[in-house]
Amino acid sequence: MLGLLQRVGFNASPVTTHPTEAQLCRSAARTGGVQLFDEVETPRGDKDRFDALITVLNVGFERGGVVTRIEKRGERFVEEPYEVYTPRVLAGIAGLKDTLEDRALTLVMLRRRKTEPVARISRATDAEAQALRDQCALAALTRFADIVSAHDLALTALEREGIDDRAVDLWSPLLAVGLAADAEDTRDRSRDILESAKVMRDADADGGPPTRLLEALQAIRTQQGETMAPADLLAALRARPGWDWLKSTRRLARLLNPLGIARRQVWDGQQRRRAYVMDADHLADLQARYGAGEAETEAPEGRAPHFSVRARG
């Protein structure tokens, strides 16, 4: 994915591991291009260096983000401001620091099944990416005024959906582009973006390991059916060994959303209501991806086991 983004992103950097503070600052100020970083794990080693990196990343997620550094100019030292606002992609198998993750749009990548082929990047990919990048650049230049005008509409739409202020800042540029594109061909990309904003904001992966969760859901589905109200599913899950720490339907949503199991409207013959639908094929596919099937094991008392959903396929 990083390789594809490198080919289509504006002034994109090479895929880099262990970036330096100077790289983050100077590259952003010089090119304004996409920065691509791999193997972004919990900081280790030089604590001061990583604290400086986190500071830049925390500030650089929004327009106007600036850091000031002391640099030598001739015989004296002066304060040098760097504009560090630029698009960044951080890939890794572990969660980010809380302050940084709160400033990011999280893309959860499911583990690849052994039978699923993965296309290779080739010269044909390069040619297609070049054409797509050219089209995006032309669209940005010719439709800039429309996108700027759509930004106010995007802010209003996100706030109307109950998205919190931080998430509004993160999603509004993407939604503005979607609204401008929808105006061209009457498609509904903006609705998809709004739905993603609602789902992904709640999916912070603070629950139990996927295999245990999937085994529990499969057992509950067998006993009580595939459609369940959030409160009923919460009660059923809490009744199983090792899940009594799960206290609210909101936390339940944070467990299920990263696996693509979200509440939706269902018709029970008399009225519409919101419920979880545990589709048999979807659960089977997830179990194949995560190797579920062994007996449930009890979680440490009072503690939610780590939920590693950011692993790359």
244 C-beta neighbours (distance < 10 Å), count = 13
Burial class of residue 107, CB neighbours in 10 A (0-12, 13-18, 19+): exposed
Closest CA to 287 of 212, 226, 206: 212
Question: pLDDT digit string (tens) for 179-227?
Answer: 999 998 888 899 889 888 876 655 443 444 678 889 999 999 999 999 9
Average pLDDT value for residue range 48-52: 70
The DSSP annotation for 242-292 comes to T-TT---HHHHHHHHGGGT---EEEE-SS-EEEEEE--HHHHHHHHHHHT-
Question: pLDDT digit string (tens) for 267-280?
Answer: 877 788 889 999 99
Q: What type of residue sits at position 28?
A: A
Distance (Å) of CA 39 to CA 17, 27, 120, 283, 301: 6, 19, 20, 29, 32
User: Is the C-alpha dihedral spanning 263, 265, 269, 270 positive or negative?
Assistant: positive
Distance (Å) of CA 187 to CA 57, 190, 208: 34, 8, 38
SS3 breakdown of the chain: % helix, strand, coil, rounded to 5?
50, 10, 40
- Both tokens of 19, joined, read 């970036």
Average pLDDT value for residue range 73-102: 81
pLDDT at position 294 is 43
Closest CA to 224 of 210, 235, 213: 235
Closest CA to 16 of 32, 31, 3: 3
**Is residue 297 very low, low, confident or very high in pLDDT (cuts 50, 70, 90)?**
very low
Spatial distance between the Cα atoms of 99 and 288, rounded to a whole number of angstroms: 33
The residues pairing with 71 across neighbouring beta strands, listed in sequence order, are 78
CA-atom Rg of the chain in angstroms: 22
Question: pLDDT digit string (tens) for 58-77?
Answer: 888 878 888 888 888 888 88
35 C-beta neighbours (distance < 10 Å), count = 25
Average pLDDT value for residue range 98-111: 77
The DSSP annotation for 166-212 comes to HHHHHHHHHHHHHHHHHHHH---HHHHHHHHHHHHHH----S--HHH
Domain boundaries, the chain: 2-101, 143-201, 210-290
- Farthest-apart Cα atoms in the chain, separation: 81
Q: Indicate if the pLDDT at residue 159 is higher than 60.
A: yes
Q: What are phi and psi of 37, to 5 degrees?
A: -125, 130
pLDDT at position 200 is 64
- Both tokens of 132, joined, read 């797509």
Length of the chain: 313
Closest CA to 82 of 25, 12, 149: 25
The residues pairing with 266 across neighbouring beta strands, listed in sequence order, are 273
Q: Are 283 and 217 in contact (CB under 8 A)?
A: yes
Does the pTM of the predicted model rise above 0.85? no
Spatial distance between the Cα atoms of 105 and 111, rounded to a whole number of angstroms: 19
Q: Are 313 and 118 in contact (CB under 8 A)?
A: yes
210-290 is classed in which CATH architecture?
A: Orthogonal Bundle (1.10)
